[in-house]
Structure 1
Amino acid sequence: MNYKRLLFIAAICFSLFACSKEFLDKEPLSEVTPENFFSTASDLQLYTNGFYRMFPHTSIYNGDSRTDNIIQNQLSDEMRGTRLIPTSGGGWSWEYLRDINFFLENYERSNDEAAKNHYGGVARFFRAYFYFEKLQRFGKVPWYDSTIDPTDKESLTKPRDNRQFVVDKILEDLDWAIENMKADQQVYEITKYTALALKSRVGLYEGTYEKYRDIDGYQKYLEASIKASEELINNSPYAVYNTGNAQADYSSLFNSHAAIDTEIILAKAYSEALNIGHNVNYYTTTSSYGRPGMPKDLVNSYLNTDGSRFTDQENYNQIFFTDEVDNRDLRLSQTIRTPGYSRKGQSMELAPNLGATVTGYQITKYVTEPVYDTNGQSITDLPLFRFGEVVLNYAEAKAELNTLSQEDLDHSLNLLRSRVDMPSLSLEMANNNPDPFIGYQYPNVDGSNKGAILEIRRERRIELYMENFRWDDIVRWKAGEALTQPIRGMYLPGPGEYDLTEDGEINVVLYEGERPDNLITGIQYYEVGSDLSLDENNLIEPHPDFDNRTFNENKDYLYPIPRIELQLNPNIEQNPGW
C-alpha cells in the first residue's frame, strides 16, 4: 500500500481513541490492551503511526511569522511583547507522552525482535521529540518515563526536573533509537537517520542555549551534535540536493509535490488524491490572509553573487528593487518574487503583488501551480528534517567550540553555497573581517571565531528561511533584542510609476490624493498613506502605528505555564517573570 495512504489511515484510526484526551492521568487508549495488541509488527507499526500527528502542520512554513523572518499585517504577540498567561492549554499538554509510555511498557510482548527494536526506537524518538518541544517552550519540565496511575498523587504533582537531566534523557532515548532502528532511506517514516538528525538539532540547541547563558557543561551537547552530524555527513545516503542547476535547485527542493529524498530525511506527506492539503499557496498569494513578506533587513543580508557584502556599499537601503536584487545570492530569487519570476508550470513573468505582502517582498518558497491556490489545497510535501540543516548544525557547533576548520566548512556549509554557485566561505577571511551588519543583530557574539559564527548565522537564516527555526535560534542565541529592530520593506521613492519586472512596462503606481482616472488592467494602484505607508527614507513601513516593541530578557525566552496547571500541581513553579 502507498505509504502516504497507510499513514493517513493509521492516523485516523489512532485519532478515534486518542484525540480527545487532554490530561496526563487519563486512561490510555481504551480500545488497545496488552492482551489484544502488541503481537505483530503490524500492531507496533499501527500504534506508532499515531505519533506522527505530533508533527506540525502549517507551522512548518508560517512558524517564522512569530519572528522577524515573516512579517504579516498583524505582528505576533511574541514580536509585540504582549503574550499573556493562559488559563489552560498554552502547549502544556501531555496526552502523547502517556500514549508513548504505554507503548514502551507493552511493545516487548511481541515475539518479532526486529520489529521490537525498530518500533521501540520510533517510540523513543517521539518521546525525545515530545520532550524537546516542551524544553524549548517551557524550559525545565517534569520527566516521566512510565504511565502514571490516576491515584498516584506524588507522581502527578512532582516538580520540574533539572534542565540538563531532561536533555540527557532526551539524548539517551535518541541514542537507543540510533542503535536499534532500521538504517533505511524512508522519507515519510522515522528511521535511524531521523534520530541522528534530531540528535544533531537537540545538541546544538542545548549547547548554545547554555553557552550564551554561562551554564557549565554546555560543551558536551555541542559535541553530541557534532557526533550525530558527522555520522549523517559521512555514513548516510543523504547529500545537499544539487543537479547543477543553480538557478532552480533550491526552489525545486521546496516546490516539488513529492519530497526529494536526496536531501530531505523526513517529510510530512500531503496528497491531492486523499484530499490532504495545506495552504501555502493561498497564504502567500492572497491579499486576505496575513499578507506575509520578507523584511528588508533579511533581504539586505543576502550576499552578492561574488561573495561580497551588499551592506558594505553606501546607501544600501535606498536602492531600487530591480537593482537591489540583481547579482545576489540565487536563493533570494528562489525565495521571493524578483524580475524573471513566473509560477511553476507557467511562463508569464510576474511582479511582486504589493497587495499580498506588507513588505513588498513576496514569498515564493513552497509555492506551486496556481491550480493549488485555493485555501487548503497545496500538496507539496513539507520538510521536517533535511540534510541542509544538519550541515549547518555541524558548522555552528564546531565554531562555538572553537574547533572549526576550513575543511569542516568545505564539507558542510559550503555545500549549500555551492548549490547556488556562491563562493565558499573562507574561515580566515570571515574571522579577520566580521560583518558589522550581522554583528549588530547579535552583539553578544565575540571571540576569535566571531566572524565565522556571524556568517554561519547569516547562512542559517537564509537557507532555513520559512522552515520554523528562527524563534528557536533567537532563544538559544539569547538574541531577543533582534526582534525589536525597526521593520521595513521595499524602497519606493515616493508617488510615481514603477517597473518591478525590468521588462519596460509599468506594473505599480503609487499616488496621493485622488485615484488616477482610466485605470489600466494589470497595473497595481496604491495610495500612499492609505494602502501602504512609507517612512522618512521611503521604505515601506508595514506597521506605522506599532513600531516601538520591547523584549523582556528576563522572561520572554520562555512561555508561561497555564494557571490551571499551577493550581493542579502546586510543585510546578511559574517561569521567571511571568
Structure 2
Amino acid sequence: MKAINKIIILGMVTTLFSSCDLTLLPENAVTPENYFQNKSDLELWTNQFYTLLDEPDASAGTNADDMIDKGMGQVIEGTRSAASETGWSWSKLRHINYFLQHSSNCDDETARSQYNGVAQFFRAYFYFVKVRRYGDVPWYDQVLGSEDQELLAKARDSREFVMDRVLKDFEDAATSLPTKSTDTRNTRVTKWAALAFASQAALYEGTYRKYHGLDNYEKYLEIAASTARQFIDESGFSLYKEGTEPYRDMFCADNAKTTEVVLARAYNFEGLQLSHSVQFSIANLQMGFTRRFMNHYLMADGTRFTDKQGYETMFYTDEVKNRDPRLQQTVLCPNYIQKGETTVTANDLTAYCGYRPIKFVGTKDHDGAAKSTSDWPLMRAAEVYLNYAEAKAELGTLKQEDLDISINKIRERAKMPDLNLTDANSNPDPYLAACYPNVEQGTNKGVILEIRRERTIELVMEGLRQWDLFRWKEGKQMFNHYVPYYGIYVPGVGTYDMDGDGKPDLEIYETTATSQCDNKKKLDKDIYLSNGTSGYIIGFPKVTYGKDWKEERDYLWPIPADQRVLTQGILTQNPGWEDGLSY
C-alpha cells in the first residue's frame, strides 16, 4: 500500500480524531511521491481548507443581547453538554499538516511559499476557533500515525502556548501570501487577510485575558494593535462609500465590494449553483433586534438617544427619526422599500421584539430558502479599524489620531460626527455603562464604551456579538433572566401607522378588533406587552433563559466525554462541566 493510503487509513481509524471525513485516494493515482509536484497540485489541495470558514447560515443560532429568533442556539438555551459536544474534530488540521509536510516536493519555490502561507493561515484560523471554544487544546504541527500513541493522547496545551503559535502562523502567512487575491471577488486569502484575522484573534485573546483575569493580556493587545495598524497603513483597503446607502448596499451585493471586503465567500446560483438562506432565515426565523440594541444608535447629530427625555416610552415611528443613518439601512423603518420594489413595506411586527432586520436583504427573488446569492463578507476593513481602536483603548495608549484613522472613518462613511476622545472620557454614557458593567472606572472608560457602541452597530448580524460578550465577560447580558428581551414600546391598544403614509395599518386589541386594518394583533395571543395592555413587546414571554448560567463554567464549551474516555482522563475537563467521569 502506498504511503498516503496508509497515513489516511490510520487517520480514519484513530478514534481520537473523531468525525474524520478523509476520503481514500486510489493507490495508483495520488501518493506523496507523485503529488505536490507543481503549483496546480498545491492549489487543488489547499482549496479544501476554505471550508473551515464560516458559512452565512451558520450565523443563525448565535444570538446574544442584540438579536433573537426562533432558534436561540445552544448557549442561550443552555443545552451544551459533554455528552453531545460535536466541535472536537481534527480532520481538517490533519489535511493542513499533511500538506505542510509534503509541499517541499514542489520545486517551484514561489508557489511553495504561497501555498504554505495558505496552509499556515488556515492552521492559525483552525486553532483560534478551537481556543475560542475550549480554551486549552493540544497543539499539533505534524501528521500523526497509529504509532504516535503518546501524541494522540497528549494533554491539552495552554491557551497561551497555542495562541502564540496561532499568531506566529498568521505572521508567517502574511509574509508568504500575495498582496492581491487571485480572483476579483477576494475569495482567496492574502497578506492583508492574514493581518486582519491576526488582529481579530489577538484582540480576542487580549481582551479575554484582561476581563477574565489572566496574565499577559497586554502582549496580545499590542499584537492586535500593530497588525491592525499595518493593515490600515499599507493594505490599500478602505470603506465602501458609493451610492446613497453604501452600508446597506454592501450586504446584499452579488459581487463583494472589494474596496472594503478583505475576504469573501462567493455565491452564484446560475453559474456555480451555490446559494445561501440568510434572507429567508430573517423572515422564517422571525429574527428581530432588541430595544437594547436599538438604543445603541446615536442621534444624527451625535448626541445620545438615551439622554432624550421620554426615550424609554417613545413609539417606533418616532424613535427611528433623526438617528444614525445606519439604523435606516439595518432595520425596517417607516418608508422602507425593498430592493427592486417601488412600494413601501410596512412593519407587521412578525419579527421577535418588532424590529425586523433589512441588513443582507436584497430583492424578492432572494426571499426563498437557498435563494440568496449575495457574496458573504468574512472580513471587512471596518472590523480591522474597530480592532485597532479597541486594542489601543484597552491598552491605555489610545490617542485622538488613532480614532481619526479608525472609528472616525467609520462614522464619516455613516455621515455621523467624529468621536472625540476627551469628550467621551469626560462624560461616559450611563446607558452603555449599564450594558457593559465590567468596564471599570478609568481614564478610558468612556471611549471604550463608545468603541463598543460602534462595534455593536457596525458589525451586527456578522456572527461576532456572542463572541464579543464572551471575551468581555458580559455573558449575563445575553439572557432574559438578567436582561429582558424587550422590543418596540406600545402605548396601548389602538391603531398605528407603521409605514409612514398617514393611515393606520396595524391594530392592537384586547378582545375584539374594530378597525379595517389589514394587520391585527391580539394581546396575550399574537403579542405580549410588558405591562399587560401597554409596554414593551416581549420577545419570549413564556420562556426564561439563563437561570443556570455559571460564570465560572459557561464561557467555554465542555470537552467531549468520549474523547476524555479515549485518553483515560489525560484530556482534562473544563471547569464546572460535569461528564460523569471519575478523572
Provide TM-score, normalisation by structure 2: 0.91
Partner of 1:202: 201
Query: Unaligned regions of 5+ residues in structure 2, if any?
Result: 1-10, 578-583
What secondary structure is seen at the aligned counterpart in 2 of 1:489? strand
Matched, 1:53 2:47: no
For residues 328-371 of structure 1, give each alpha carbon's deviation from its aligned partner in whole angstroms, at most 9, with x where no partner exists: 0011110110122111111211112312x011100011110001
Kindly tell me the number of residue pairs found equivalent between the two proteins: 550
| CA distance in 2: counterparts of 1:395 and 1:511, whole angstroms | 48
What secondary structure is seen at the aligned counterpart in 2 of 1:540? strand
| CA distance in 2: counterparts of 1:293 and 1:27, whole angstroms | 36
Q: CA 1:477 to 1:37, structure 2 compared with 1: closer, same or farther past 3 Å?
A: same
Partner of 1:319: 314
Alignment-mate amino acid for residue 39 of structure 2: A
Alignment-mate amino acid for residue 503 of structure 2: E
| CA distance in 1: counterparts of 2:485 and 2:200, whole angstroms | 29
Partner of 2:42: 44
Q: Is the 8 A contact 1:22 1:94 kept in 2?
A: no
Q: Is the 8 A contact 1:395 1:409 kept in 2?
A: yes
Q: How many angstroms does 1:275 deviate by?
A: 2.1
For residues 120-143 of structure 1, give each alpha carbon's deviation from its aligned partner in whole angstroms, at most 9, with x where no partner exists: 000010000000000000010000
| CA distance in 2: counterparts of 1:21 and 1:127, whole angstroms | 20
Q: How many angstroms does 1:416 deviate by?
A: 0.6
Partner of 1:173: 169
Choose 139-148 or 18-27, whichever is displaced more: 18-27
Q: CA 1:420 to 1:19, structure 2 compared with 1: closer, same or farther past 3 Å?
A: farther
Q: CA 1:125 to 1:74, structure 2 compared with 1: closer, same or farther past 3 Å?
A: closer
For residues 18-76 of structure 1, give each alpha carbon's deviation from its aligned partner in whole angstroms, at most 9, with x where no partner exists: 999985386965324212210110110010001111112134643542x1222113543
Partner of 1:451: 446
Q: How many angstroms does 1:90 deviate by?
A: 2.2
| CA distance in 1: counterparts of 2:320 and 2:59, whole angstroms | 23
| CA distance in 2: counterparts of 1:373 and 1:192, whole angstroms | 36
Matched, 1:282 2:277: no
Partner of 1:266: 263
Q: Is the 8 A contact 2:56 2:376 kept in 1?
A: no
Q: How many angstroms does 1:547 deviate by?
A: 3.8
Partner of 2:112: 116
Q: CA 1:22 to 1:70, structure 2 compared with 1: closer, same or farther past 3 Å?
A: farther
Q: CA 1:22 to 1:207, structure 2 compared with 1: closer, same or farther past 3 Å?
A: same
Q: Is the 8 A contact 2:208 2:470 kept in 1?
A: yes
Q: CA 1:528 to 1:19, structure 2 compared with 1: closer, same or farther past 3 Å?
A: farther
Alignment-mate amino acid for residue 407 of structure 2: L
The counterpart of 1:401, out of the listed 395, 403, 416, is 395
Provide TM-score, normalisation by structure 1: 0.92
Choose 38-47 or 523-532, whichever is displaced more: 523-532
Alignment-mate amino acid for residue 134 of structure 1: K
Aligned positions of 1:56-455 closer than 5 A: 56-59=54-57, 61-62=59-60, 64-65=62-63, 67-80=64-77, 82-185=78-181, 186=183, 187-243=186-242, 245=243, 247-273=244-270, 274-285=272-283, 289-355=284-350, 357-446=351-440, 447-455=442-450
| CA distance in 2: counterparts of 1:348 and 1:385, whole angstroms | 33
Choose 439-448 or 109-118, whichever is displaced more: 439-448
Q: CA 1:457 to 1:27, structure 2 compared with 1: closer, same or farther past 3 Å?
A: closer
Choose 406-415 or 180-189, whichever is displaced more: 180-189
Partner of 1:24: 17
Aligned positions of 1:466-481 closer than 5 A: 466-481=461-476
Q: Is the 8 A contact 2:118 2:173 kept in 1?
A: yes
Q: How many angstroms does 1:479 deviate by?
A: 1.1
What secondary structure is seen at the aligned counterpart in 2 of 1:359? helix
Q: Is the 8 A contact 2:80 2:557 kept in 1?
A: no
| CA distance in 1: counterparts of 2:100 and 2:348, whole angstroms | 51
Q: CA 1:29 to 1:375, structure 2 compared with 1: closer, same or farther past 3 Å?
A: closer
Q: Is the 8 A contact 1:487 1:547 kept in 2?
A: no
Q: How many angstroms does 1:494 deviate by?
A: 2.2
For residues 479-514 of structure 1, give each alpha carbon's deviation from its aligned partner in whole angstroms, at most 9, with x where no partner exists: 112123111011122221110122112221112223
Q: Is the 8 A contact 2:505 2:519 kept in 1?
A: yes
For residues 399-449 of structure 1, give each alpha carbon's deviation from its aligned partner in whole angstroms, at most 9, with x where no partner exists: 011110111001001111101110000000000000011111211212110
Choose 161-170 or 54-63, whichever is displaced more: 54-63
Q: Is the 8 A contact 2:61 2:73 kept in 1?
A: no
What secondary structure is seen at the aligned counterpart in 2 of 1:429? helix
| CA distance in 1: counterparts of 2:259 and 2:554, whole angstroms | 38
Q: Is the 8 A contact 2:57 2:277 kept in 1?
A: no
For residues 249-297 of structure 1, give each alpha carbon's deviation from its aligned partner in whole angstroms, at most 9, with x where no partner exists: 1101111111000000000111121221111221123xxx321100001
Query: Unaligned regions of 5+ residues in structure 1, if any?
Result: 1-17
Q: CA 1:501 to 1:436, structure 2 compared with 1: closer, same or farther past 3 Å?
A: same
Q: CA 1:548 to 1:262, structure 2 compared with 1: closer, same or farther past 3 Å?
A: closer
What secondary structure is seen at the aligned counterpart in 2 of 1:301? coil
| CA distance in 1: counterparts of 2:81 and 2:370, whole angstroms | 31
| CA distance in 2: counterparts of 1:197 and 1:73, whole angstroms | 33
| CA distance in 1: counterparts of 2:467 and 2:136, whole angstroms | 16
Q: CA 1:489 to 1:119, structure 2 compared with 1: closer, same or farther past 3 Å?
A: same
What secondary structure is seen at the aligned counterpart in 2 of 1:510? strand
Partner of 2:492: 494
Q: CA 1:59 to 1:448, structure 2 compared with 1: closer, same or farther past 3 Å?
A: farther
The counterpart of 1:506, out of the listed 497, 504, 507, is 504
What secondary structure is seen at the aligned counterpart in 2 of 1:137? helix
Aligned positions of 1:522-561 closer than 5 A: 523-536=518-531, 538-547=535-544, 549-550=546-547, 551-561=549-559
| CA distance in 2: counterparts of 1:339 and 1:401, whole angstroms | 42
Q: Is the 8 A contact 2:67 2:289 kept in 1?
A: yes
| CA distance in 2: counterparts of 1:41 and 1:524, whole angstroms | 60
Q: CA 1:20 to 1:321, structure 2 compared with 1: closer, same or farther past 3 Å?
A: farther
Q: Is the 8 A contact 2:302 2:417 kept in 1?
A: yes
Q: CA 1:249 to 1:20, structure 2 compared with 1: closer, same or farther past 3 Å?
A: farther
Partner of 2:31: 33
Alignment-mate amino acid for residue 210 of structure 2: K
| CA distance in 2: counterparts of 1:422 and 1:60, whole angstroms | 32
Q: CA 1:63 to 1:197, structure 2 compared with 1: closer, same or farther past 3 Å?
A: farther
Q: Is the 8 A contact 1:29 1:99 kept in 2?
A: no
Q: CA 1:503 to 1:27, structure 2 compared with 1: closer, same or farther past 3 Å?
A: closer
Q: Is the 8 A contact 2:317 2:334 kept in 1?
A: yes
Q: CA 1:29 to 1:74, structure 2 compared with 1: closer, same or farther past 3 Å?
A: closer
For residues 517-540 of structure 1, give each alpha carbon's deviation from its aligned partner in whole angstroms, at most 9, with x where no partner exists: 8x55xx211111101111115110
Please report the RMSD computed on the Cα atoms of aligned residues, expressed in angstroms.
1.9
Alignment-mate amino acid for residue 252 of structure 2: N
